[in-house]
Amino acid sequence: MKSTYKVAQVSVSRKLEIVERATPSPGPDEVLISIEACGICGADAGDIDRADPALQPPRVPGHEVVGRIVALGANTPNLWKIGQRVGVGRLGGHCNDCDQCRRGHFNLCRNQQVLGVSRDGGYAEMLTARSTGLVSIPDDLSSEEAAPILCAGIATFNALKKCGAEAGDTVAILGIGGLGHMAVQYARRMGFRVVAVGRGADIADLSIELGAHRYIDSNVENTVEVLQTLGGAKAVLTTIGNADAVAEIMPALAPEGRLVVLGVAKDPLSVSTGFLVGGERGVMGSITGSPFENERTLDFSVLSGVRPMIETMPLERAQEAVERMRSGNVKFRMVLTMGGNADAHQ
């Protein structure tokens, strides 16, 4: 094993710098992973901007990590083996002690480690990770394909499972980007009537190719009126961070319909209490899921042919890759590859 490894860490200027660090040893109940791919998520931008400049060593972002186990810490469960391909998502491992863990709500663990925030993430060649956060990766997915599913995939897959809609119901996906393009695929394969909602005609054909039965260009059509002609939406899954736009689509919910919020907005969401009470409608948030749920998402992706649309760059170009993500000029997920592999699978 190499004595050092490369990381892209947050500098005092909030830029990513490539440095060498001494290869760590995993602690109790931890593993050491040789990383093959790490997706770049929109949340990474906030992690970079809010990173503590006084932290030493500086924080490493990234929470869509796929690689192989190269070392095991003491007391690591026998489930995990040297050479096994595993992933780690946003939630870096539950504690198994808090009240939420005792209820089996591992994604709501009160002592959860968060990759890229409270623990170093995957913009690196190596990563130590809690064994409780590990996800087994199916052989049918490349590491580059699997990485975004550990965040964008499970976030949308779990949200759709919670939305209350049944096969044949109308489900609207607001925002066809890194999350939305996954949501459209999952929703179609779950048997919903899928309506994709975006701004502009440039995404219309692709939305249909991904599985949408109908695309609404909100720049030229009244989204609420169109959805109401379909009987209203049993669920609206919103992936955007614009609270006003989310509030505007809420009247399209059918009675007993549910708004599921994935995109985090800075401003409060305006909700009509009469509209909720009168139609027994609901608003809920959804956050990723447990490692087991992540494995279910990966398995469903294999069985149903759902794949993220990705672009790849080597770790050494991490700053450029993050800037591409921030600009929105990516269709739809950027993935870093390790070991100088600039020609990774796309």
- With tokens 């959804």, the residue in question is 286
State residue 1's pLDDT score. Answer: 82
Read off the pLDDT of residues 53-94 as tens digits, 9 standing for 90 and up. Answer: 899 999 999 999 999 999 999 999 999 999 999 999 999 999
Euclidean distance between CA atoms 142 and 148, whole angstroms: 11
CA distance 335 to 10: 18
Cβ within 8 Å of residue 292, ≥6 positions away: 106
Domains in the chain, start-ordered, CATH in brackets? 4-137+309-337 (3.90.180.10), 153-285 (3.40.50.720)
Q: In this predicted model, what pLDDT tens digit does every residue of 255-271 receive, in sequence order?
A: 999 999 998 888 899 99
Give pLDDT, residue 328. Answer: 87
Phi, psi for 247 (deg, rounded to 5): -60, -35
pLDDT at 164 (0 to 100): 96
- Kindly tell me if the per-residue pLDDT of 334 is higher than 90: yes
How confident is the model over 188-233, as pLDDT tens digits?
999 999 999 999 999 999 999 999 999 999 999 999 999 999 999 9
- pLDDT class of 2 with cuts at 50, 70, 90: confident
Cβ atoms within 10 Å, residue 209: 10
- Do residues 125 and 131 touch, judged by C-beta distance below 8 A? no
On the question of pLDDT at 327 being above 60, the answer is yes
Per-residue pLDDT, 287 = 87
Whether 343 has a pLDDT exceeding 60, the answer reads: no
Over range 289-307, report the average pLDDT: 97
Beta strands, E only, the chain: 4-10, 16-22, 30-40, 65-72, 85-88, 126-130, 134-136, 170-174, 193-198, 214-217, 233-238, 253-261, 282-285, 310-314, 333-337
The amino acid that residue 260 corresponds to is V
pTM as predicted: 0.93
Task: Inform me whether the pLDDT recorded for 331 exceeds 90.
Answer: no
* Mean of pLDDT values over 100-120: 94
Per-residue pLDDT at 339 exceeds 80:
no
What's the whole-number mean pLDDT along residues 165-172? 98
pLDDT band at 11, cuts 50/70/90? Answer: very high
Residue 344's pLDDT is 34
